[in-house]
Amino acid sequence: MKNILWIGVLFLISRPALSQPITVKDALGRTVTLKQPAKRVLLGEGRDIVTLNILDANPVSLVTAWQDDFKKTLEYNHYRKKFPEIEKIAVVGSNAATFSAEKAIIARPDIAVFSANGHGPGPQSKELIAQLEAAGIPVLFIDFRKDPFNNTVPSIRILGKILNREKKAEAFIRFYETRKNLIANRIKANNPKRPKVFMDMKAGMSENEFNSPGKSNLGSFIAMAGGHNIGADVLPGAVGQLNQEFVISSDPDIYIATGTDLFRGKGVVLGADVRPAEVITSIRKRLQDPIVAELSAVKKKRVYGLWHLFYASPFNILAAECIAKWTHPDLFTDINPDASLKELNDKFLSVPLSGTYWISLDK
C-alpha cells in the first residue's frame, strides 16, 4: 500500500503543471483571457516587434503574422540580418483597410495584439475583432500612442503576463519609471518657468503643414519635462495640425522637429542608420521655411531633432529625457539620454537601436 502511495506522489511531482488561464485588462479596459501563455502572436502593427524585443531576445520566434509596416523601415534590415526567418512571417495587410481576417485566422495565432490608436486595426474594427474572436483568437489592445504617459507601463506589464515574460517586463518598467519619476519629481520640486515648445511632427513632409502633439501623446512628456506644449492649447486629441497663424502668434521658445528614415528626401530624417550630418542637413532645410525661420526659438538657436517614432513607442522615456535637458538644461545636468540608450540596448534589446535618434542644433 505504501509503495502505491509513493508511486502516486512521485507521479504528481513529476507531472508537468497544467497551464492556468491568464486574464488581463487591456489598454481599453477589456477583459481578455488566454488558456495559456501565448507562443504565437499576431501583430496589428509590425513595428511592435521592437516592443517584443524588450521581453524576448528572439522576438521573431513569437510572431506568426503581422501587418507589414515595419518591413518598410531601415530597422527591419537589422532584424533580418540577425533573424533571417523574419521573412517567413505571414503578412496579413498593410493597414486597417487591407487587413485580412482570413489570413490572420489561417496563421493560427494564440492572440492578436492591436494598437488602441495606431495605423492598423483598432477599436473601430469591430467586425474584424468579432471574426477573430469567433475563431478562438483573443484580441488584446496596447497603447504607446494615444496616452503613452499613462499606458506605456500597463501595456508592457500586460504583454509580459500574456507571454510569460513577467520578469523581463518588470525589469524594463523599473528602467522606465526610475527615469520618469526623476524628471517629474524635479520639475514638481523646482516649479520652473515653462518655456513654450513647438514639436513640429513629421517636419517638412508637407509644405505649409504643421503637426503637433496635443494634450496627450508626446505632449504629456513635454509637460512632465517642464515645457509648455503649444499644441496642447488648441488640439483636443493625441496629435493634430496647427494653422500657420497660431504657430506664428505662439512664437515658441523651443523648436523640436521630428522625422524618420522613411522621410528621406522629403522631410527631417532621424532613426536607424542615419548619420548626424544628414539629420542636420534635413533640419536646416526645414528651417528655411519662412514661418519656421522667423520663430524666436530658431533665432535663438534652440533647435532640436527627435526620432518621430518615439511618439508610438515604449522608448518614449528617452524622448522625455531629451526634452527635459532641452527645456531646462541647468536643472537636468545629470540626465544623459545617450547613456540611457546604451543601457536600453545592453540590457533589453538583442537588436539594438543604432543610428541618430536625437540631435541638438543649439550651438
- Residue 269 belongs to some domain of the structure: yes
CA dist 3 → 6, 7, 8, 9 (Å)? 5, 6, 9, 10
Q: Which amino acid is at 141?
A: F
Q: Which amino acid is at 32?
A: V
CA dist 258 → 108, 267, 275, 315, 326 (Å)? 37, 9, 15, 15, 14
CATH number at residue 106: 3.40.50.1980
For residues 6 and 319, give the distance between their C-alpha atoms in angstroms, rounded to a whole number. Answer: 60
Q: Are residues 244 and 347 in the same domain?
A: yes
pLDDT in tens, the chain (363 residues): 444 434 343 334 444 445 689 999 999 999 999 999 999 999 999 999 999 999 999 999 999 999 999 999 999 999 999 999 999 999 999 998 999 999 999 999 999 999 998 888 999 999 999 999 999 999 999 999 999 999 999 999 999 999 999 999 999 999 999 999 999 999 999 999 999 999 999 999 987 889 999 999 999 999 999 999 999 999 988 999 999 999 999 999 999 999 999 888 899 999 999 999 999 999 999 999 999 999 999 999 999 999 999 999 999 999 999 999 999 999 999 999 999 999 999 999 999 999 999 999 976
**By C-alpha distance, which of 94, 120, 113, 116 is closest to 42?**
113
Q: Are residues 126 and 219 in the same domain?
A: no
| pLDDT for residue 19 | 66
Q: Are residues 145 and 276 in the same domain?
A: no
**By C-alpha distance, which of 194, 199, 201, 156 is closest to 175?**
156
- Residue 13 belongs to some domain of the structure: no
Q: Are residues 146 and 205 in the same domain?
A: no
Number of domains the chain is built from: 2
- Residue 302 belongs to some domain of the structure: yes
Domain boundary among 146, 164, 182: 164
Helix or strand or coil: residue 33?
strand
Q: Are residues 105 and 243 in the same domain?
A: no
Q: Are residues 143 and 250 in the same domain?
A: no
| pLDDT for residue 10 | 38
- Residue 289 belongs to some domain of the structure: yes
Q: Are residues 223 and 93 in the same domain?
A: no
Helix or strand or coil: residue 228?
strand
DSSP string, 299-316: HTT-EEEEEGGGGGSTTH
- Residue 77 belongs to some domain of the structure: yes
Other CB atoms within 10 Å distance of the CB of residue 185: 10
Q: Are residues 263 and 316 in the same domain?
A: yes
Range of the structural domain that residue 75 is part of: 19-164
**By C-alpha distance, which of 227, 229, 158 is closest to 193?**
227
- Residue 170 belongs to some domain of the structure: no
Domain boundary among 144, 164, 184: 164
| pLDDT for residue 363 | 67
| pLDDT for residue 17 | 46
- Residue 183 belongs to some domain of the structure: no
For the chain, the maximum distance between any two Cα atoms, rounded to a whole number of angstroms, is 93
Q: Are residues 259 and 117 in the same domain?
A: no
Q: Are residues 231 and 350 in the same domain?
A: yes
How many residues does the structure list for the chain? 363
Q: Are residues 204 and 325 in the same domain?
A: yes
Q: Order of strands, edge to edge, in the sheet holding 358-360? A: 228-229, 196-200, 254-259, 303-307, 358-360
**By C-alpha distance, which of 143, 135, 149 is closest to 106?**
135
Q: Are residues 44 and 129 in the same domain?
A: yes
Residue in this structure with the C-alpha cell 527591419, named with its chain if needed = 76
- Residue 179 belongs to some domain of the structure: no
